[in-house]
Amino acid sequence: MKIRAPHTEPLVQPIYQSATFVLDERSYRDIAENHGIGEVWYSRLRNPTVDAAGDVVASLEGAEDALITGSGMGAISSLVLGLCKAGDRIVASRELYGDTHDLFTRWLPGLGMEVELVPVDDLERWERALSTPAKLVYGETLSNPQLRLLDIPAVAAFAKAAGATFAVDNTFASPALVRPLEHGADVVVASATKFLNGHSDVVAGAVAGSKSVVDQCRLVVMAFGSCLDPHAAFLLLRGLKTFGIRLDRQMQNAAALAGILETSPDVERVIYPGLASYAQADLAARLLAHKHGAMISFVVAGGDERAGAFMRAAESATEATSLGGVETLISAPYNSSHFMLSPDERAAIGIEPGMLRLSVGTEDIDVLAADFAAALAATSA
């Protein structure tokens, strides 16, 4: 059956909902010379809709190339498996998303890799850990959920001295705040589910960097199958079109709400890079270019029970995992993103009783502020 196509170009990237494509001489040459990852002939390897989303992410991050995967963890695991093997040494920040922490502390040592974790904001520890050679250095721009900022230029220098590839998870910050590649990172990963998509309806990941690194990750996706469906890539492309507009509104709301929360007697501590009280305010001023993101972490007086009651009383914020969507989402790390850690492990990385993680959406800020005030008052002792 002949495929019909319009004689002019479509305004919107088509969904190439095809598992396979016609093989031709170029395809066969690519299979013979490049493991088949350079041409479109089977959608587990490449798909035009998925590649189009990768092009947008590469542009946002200032990267030579980008690969879109089936999830953020798919991106992270493809990167690690593409670059590291048994016997290799990895140095990573201690403050990591729960499943990333599980990957680095349980799965990678089981595959014969040595992993050393260091506090994200302790440069002396980074320098000491990287005084000996390493294969991979890994950290999050803003840690999940403590919002501790990684000094990317400083760690990049240590990684280079150690002969390591430096990878940064930019999920929480997003390229709206900082582009790690411009500050010395070699490769960026992200959960595209979050700010890149922005509508809480797609699970996807991204790896952005040099073509050589991205191609190594493509080979892992080829073998392990963490590819993205083209319809999901189409939705991601749709979300990416409003990335800047969404983030501007979300960051305005977050800055206002962080200031309001900090004045509440029912809140023990607010962590937000735009506040004067932020522990790394100087670094934030240098690295984030006066944009501070849409994530807030705060500690409700009264511990986890009171924090849970507050979440359920807040009508304008949905109690749910994930983040980065146009709707405001709130969660307690101890029973969502970091449930697999013990209480002692959570305490060691700064997840306190009563801590909540807030992803601020695009709603009316007056509605959000009034609702949060009412919810805190309704749960006050």
**Residues belonging to the active site:** 44, 97, 169, 194
- Asked if 84 and 219 count as a contact pair (C-beta separation under 8 A), the reply is no
- Asked if 243 and 250 count as a contact pair (C-beta separation under 8 A), the reply is no
- Asked if 236 and 68 count as a contact pair (C-beta separation under 8 A), the reply is yes
Query: What distances in angstroms separate CA 111 from CA 84, 225, 254, 341, one per listed residue?
Result: 10, 19, 41, 21
Query: What distances in angstroms separate CA 267 from CA 52, 260, 303, 314, 338, one per listed residue?
Result: 44, 10, 10, 15, 21
Q: Which residues contact 11 (CB under 8 A, 6 or more apart)?
A: none
What's the CA gap between 206 and 76, in Å, rounded? 8
What's the CA gap between 150 and 288, in Å, rounded? 11
Closest CA to 47 of 80, 14, 75: 14
Sequential DSSP letters for 34-86: HTT-SS-SBTTT--HHHHHHHHHHHHHHT-SEEEEESSHHHHHHHHHHHH--T
What's the CA gap between 315 and 317, in Å, rounded? 6
* β-pairing verdict for 355-359 and 295-300: antiparallel
| Paired tokens of 230 | 């083209």
